């Protein structure tokens, strides 16, 4: 008992010290666990060597840190394309390189896009790589030839790492921002939190709507009583129930790959290969595709689409992508 009394001050001091130490840990976790809501400066997000699509003075800027070999980036590619096609005059899009170390061909693919960019073909080369995602040196040179580039110079620049420093600079900026996965998107300087590909569309369109200048409405009046005449144009949508969109699947993928279709139209997929294929959606719209739709070898699957805007899907095993813009 005397021992306990003699050591009581020591126990108390030790206990208080532990409490203070735990408090410091909790406080530090609270300080750093939540990401900052402060927007990142555009100077860090867009550099002199960054390629940009859209009006440079647009109030809405979308920046992607991407990897040409990344399957998730390929999943988002048609979604980004949809946004750019439908908001060409309302959005500025910038692409930054962030090749992940586990992807064997990603760094050279990024360099190849910069080489193509020197000849004014960055975005065409970007499209080819995300659509094909075959990225060996032979493939990269093949894409350069398809775009009419000087293949001798292209090959020399690729092998000599002429644009390696530019790719490294992008990676360095990404590391400063704490990026560790691709794709990572910033919308007007704020890092986006996305659960699905549709979230990207919804958040970008909401930002465009938020910053859109207010529209002025004009009213017309006629007649001696001063009452305003309201005219409504109602155009009946044509019956599309008998229209069929046929999509053929071969070993090279879907054809057509990115067609348009009317809401209510029938879509017919034909599997011309000797293997069973499985269609899964990458933008969630139709519950029928959540668990995958299997199409037997030489088989056919029909489905009537009833929603609007972009819908994307892929073949599960090969990763071949397709999309339908539903009107």
pLDDT of the chain, 327 residues: tens digit per residue: 444 445 555 545 554 444 444 344 334 433 333 344 578 988 889 999 999 999 989 999 999 999 999 999 999 999 999 999 999 999 999 999 999 999 999 999 999 999 999 999 999 999 999 988 999 999 999 999 999 999 999 999 999 999 999 999 999 999 999 999 999 999 999 999 999 888 999 999 999 999 876 655 454 444 444 444 444 454 566 777 789 999 999 998 999 988 888 888 999 999 999 999 999 988 888 988 988 999 999 999 999 988 878 888 999 998 888 888 888
Pinpoint the residues of the chain covered by CATH 3.40.30.10: 43-210
Pinpoint the residues of the chain covered by CATH 2.60.40.420: 244-326
Residue 173 pLDDT: 96
Topology classification of domain 43-210: Glutaredoxin (3.40.30)
Side-chain-facing half-sphere of 282: CA atoms under 13 Å:
23
**Rounded Cα distance, 172 and 76, in Å:** 23
The superfamily CATH assigns to domain 244-326 is Cupredoxins -  blue copper proteins (2.60.40.420)
**Rounded Cα distance, 184 and 192, in Å:** 7
Whether 95 contacts 116, CB under 8 Å:
no
Residues 6+ apart with CB under 8 A from 12: none
**Rounded Cα distance, 109 and 139, in Å:** 10
Residues 6+ apart with CB under 8 A from 5: none
Whether 264 contacts 304, CB under 8 Å:
yes
Residue 9 pLDDT: 54
Residue 22 pLDDT: 38
Least Cα distance to 260 among 311, 208, 321 occurs for 311
**Rounded Cα distance, 75 and 85, in Å:** 17
């Amino acid at each position: 008992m005397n021992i306990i009394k003699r050591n009581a001050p020591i126990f108390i001091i030790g206990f208080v010290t532990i409490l203070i130490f735990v408090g410091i840990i909790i406080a530090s976790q609270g300080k750093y666990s939540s990401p900052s809501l402060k927007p990142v400066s555009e100077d860090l997000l867009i550099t002199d060597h960054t390629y940009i699509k859209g009006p440079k003075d647009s109030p809405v800027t979308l920046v992607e840190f991407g990897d040409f070999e990344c399957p998730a980036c390929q999943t988002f590619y048609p979604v980004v394309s949809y946004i750019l096609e439908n908001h060409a005059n309302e959005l500025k899009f910038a692409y930054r390189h962030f090749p992940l170390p586990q992807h064997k061909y990603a760094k050279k693919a990024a360099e190849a896009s910069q080489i193509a960019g020197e000849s004014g073909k960055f975005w065409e080369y970007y499209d080819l790589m995300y659509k094909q995602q075959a990225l060996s040196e032979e493939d990269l040179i093949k894409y350069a030839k398809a775009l009419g580039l000087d293949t001798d110079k292209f090959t020399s620049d690729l092998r000599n790492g002429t644009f390696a420093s530019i790719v490294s600079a992008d990676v360095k900026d990404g590391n400063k921002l704490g990026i560790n996965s691709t794709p990572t998107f910033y919308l007007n300087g704020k890092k986006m939190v996305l659960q699905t590909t549709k979230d990207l569309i919804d958040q970008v369109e909401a930002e465009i709507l938020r910053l859109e200048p207010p529209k002025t409405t004009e009213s017309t009046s006629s007649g001696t009583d001063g009452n305003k005449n309201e005219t409504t144009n109602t155009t009946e949508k044509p019956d599309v129930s008998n229209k069929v969109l046929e999509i053929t699947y071969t070993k090279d993928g879907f054809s057509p790959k990115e067609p348009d279709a009317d809401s209510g139209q029938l879509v017919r997929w034909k599997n011309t290969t000797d293997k069973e294929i499985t269609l899964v959606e990458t933008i969630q719209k139709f519950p029928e595709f959540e668990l995958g739709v299997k199409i037997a070898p030489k088989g056919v699957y029909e489905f009537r689409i009833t929603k609007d805007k972009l819908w994307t899907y892929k073949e599960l095993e090969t990763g071949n992508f397709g999309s339908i813009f539903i009107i």
